[in-house]
Amino acid sequence: MKKILVILCFVIGFTIVTFAQSFTVKKGTKLIYQVEANNEKYLFKIKVLETEPSMKFEYVMTSIAEKKGSVTISQEAMESSINLDNYFGNGEKSLTDATTIWVSKAVWELICAPGNDDPIGIRFDNAQNPTIFEMVVPQMQEFKINGKILNCKVTEIVEAYWDEKLQERIEDKRVTILNNWSNPLIISLDIGFRVTLIEAKKVVLEKE
């Protein structure tokens, strides 16, 4: 009986630790996303080059029209921008009033800070007006992190509105963010095309 209890305690303890994982990136971190766009599936591979004062990474897209380049996101954009740039070509890009792959800390606080009731607005790709997200759904999600399958706390936000013509509630754009203020990483994006994180390598694990 004692042996069974010991095993149960070990399993429960292991589950708690596993479900409390989060992570931050560092120089050399690799992130692999799967992209579904224009009836094509391919990988979007990122390697972090710098994390401060600006965020800089290089990338390769394994699509039919393979693209390679690098992006630098300014410190100011990482702190406060509500703009999200989602298009990548070849060559270098510098973002001073938008983020990509990460949301800014200001947007993270709107999404994840306890007790916040302010509207969550994100402007996609220089749209005239931001998209307003009303539904906030905290959840757990599995990732392959440093070679192991771990569960992390994430939050999904959903654009939801009432369609007068159809007379029904429509749920449209979705964004899922890692619940980590120091690493406000986009886990998945569904805004007419879909991007999903499938693996993170050489990250720094954290326990809540």
Q: What confidence category does residue 198 fall into, taking pLDDT thresholds of 50, 70 and 90? A: very high
Residues of the chain with pLDDT > 70, as a percent, come to 90
Q: What confidence category does residue 2 fall into, taking pLDDT thresholds of 50, 70 and 90? A: very low
Which pTM does this prediction carry?
Answer: 0.86
For the cut 50, the answer to whether the pLDDT of residue 3 exceeds it is no
CA–CA separation, 192 and 75 (whole Å): 29
By three-state DSSP, how is residue 12 classified? Answer: helix
What's the count of helices (H) and strands (E) in the chain, helices before strands?
3, 15
Q: Write the pLDDT tens digit of every residue in 89-113.
A: 999 999 999 999 999 999 999 998 8
pLDDT at 58: 98
pLDDT at 140: 93
Mean pLDDT (whole number) for 120-125? 93
Q: Write the pLDDT tens digit of every residue in 125-171.
A: 989 999 999 878 889 999 899 999 999 999 999 988 777 888 787 78
Instruction: Please state, rounded to an integer, the average pLDDT across all residues of the chain.
Output: 87
Vertex 73: Cα angle to 68 and 78 (nearest 5)? 140
pLDDT at 80: 96
Higher pLDDT, 112 or 78: 78
Q: Are 121 and 82 in contact (CB under 8 A)?
A: yes
H or E element: which one contains 19?
helix 2-19
Q: What confidence category does residue 208 fall into, taking pLDDT thresholds of 50, 70 and 90? A: low
